[in-house]
Amino acid sequence: MTADYRIYADLANWWPLISPPSEYAQEAAYLAALIKEKSAGKGTISVLDLGSGGGHVAAHLTGGLDLTLVDISPEMLAASRRLVPGFEHIKGDMRTIRLGRQFDAVLVHDAVDYIIGRHDLASVIKTAAAHCRQGGTAVFVPDYVKDTFAELTGAGGGGVDDAGRTAAFTEHTWDLDPDDDEVQADYEFTLTHADGTTEVIRESHKLSAYPRDLWRALITDAGLDLEPEPAPLPGRKPANIFTARRRSPGTPHAVARP
């Protein structure tokens, strides 16, 4: 899980500098438009964000969306509260949390990449379904799926805070074993403190890349019907997205292949 890595634990206050919130604006605009389209006719739309991290997606989900943010890392929740203090924040594990209430939409963004094992993935999807009202929308946005995974290298960062701290990173994501559902992301984080001293942190993160057909099967098994791809929407569509609607009990599941 994300809390197993320093960058989401004791180094979480660097997250806005490593991955600035502005970088999420275009994808968040698409997700907001999608949720609003699927919830047409409602006033304020209640949204549960499972694995909300530092709140960088939530910061752009404004205008008629009432968010509840859940993350397993208390340090990331603290960073999120500073960024989006107006939202409810709850510490919890997306595999097991049960809030006892339902929402118009449930969003599971890229924190799902840290869910290792098909049983745990099924548990996350069941959590989303359990919190989605009948007729409500569940949206899953993994960074990687097995069908299209390709080795990648990249770099980013560039944020700066009021104290003058800056951060940057490089990444190399690759597949150690094509026969399993895991990939590895090797990161090097360069953190420059306010006094000009530099610290380099290296971490290897174990991530998931599940087949699309597995995603589809687990989503339908959880009581959700996959929705067809919507018409073009504002913002930037994520590379991988599964959108589903909570079916009524006893209703045969529909088949759609997004």
Helices (H), 3-44: 15-18, 25-38
**Do residues 2 and 80 lie in contact, with contact meaning Cβ atoms separated by under 8 Å?**
no
Alpha-carbon span 60 to 177, nearest angstrom: 36
Look at residue 27 in the predicted model and tell me its pLDDT.
Answer: 97
**Do residues 251 and 159 lie in contact, with contact meaning Cβ atoms separated by under 8 Å?**
no
φ, ψ for residue 122 (rounded to 5)? -60, -40
248: pLDDT strictly greater than 90: no
Alpha-carbon span 25 to 97, nearest angstrom: 28
Better pLDDT: 228 or 99: 99
Look at residue 254 in the predicted model and tell me its pLDDT.
Answer: 53
In sequence order, what E strands does the chain have?
A: 45-50, 65-71, 88-91, 103-108, 132-140, 152-160, 166-174, 182-192, 198-208, 224-226, 242-246
Q: What is the mean pLDDT of residues 15-26?
A: 96
Q: What is the mean pLDDT of residues 149-167?
A: 95
Q: Which residues of 134-144 are buried (b: 16+ CB within 10 A; e: fewer)?
A: eebbbbbbbbb
Look at residue 121 in the predicted model and tell me its pLDDT.
Answer: 98
Q: What is the pLDDT of residues 132-144, one digit of tens each?
A: 999 999 999 999 9
% of the chain at pLDDT higher than 90: 89
Q: What is the mean pLDDT of residues 89-107?
A: 98
Q: What is the mean pLDDT of residues 42-56?
A: 95
What does the mean pLDDT of the chain come to? 94
pLDDT range class, residue 154, cuts 50, 70, 90? very high
- All domains of the chain in start order, with CATH: 21-143+211-246 (3.40.50.150), 146-208 (2.20.130)
Among 158-162, 172-176, 248-252, name the one with the lowest average pLDDT. Answer: 248-252
* Tokens of residue 210, six digits: 């599940």
Name every residue whose Cβ is closer than 8 Å to that of residue 52 and which is 6 or more positions away in sequence.
58, 67, 69, 70, 71, 76, 77, 80, 89, 109, 111
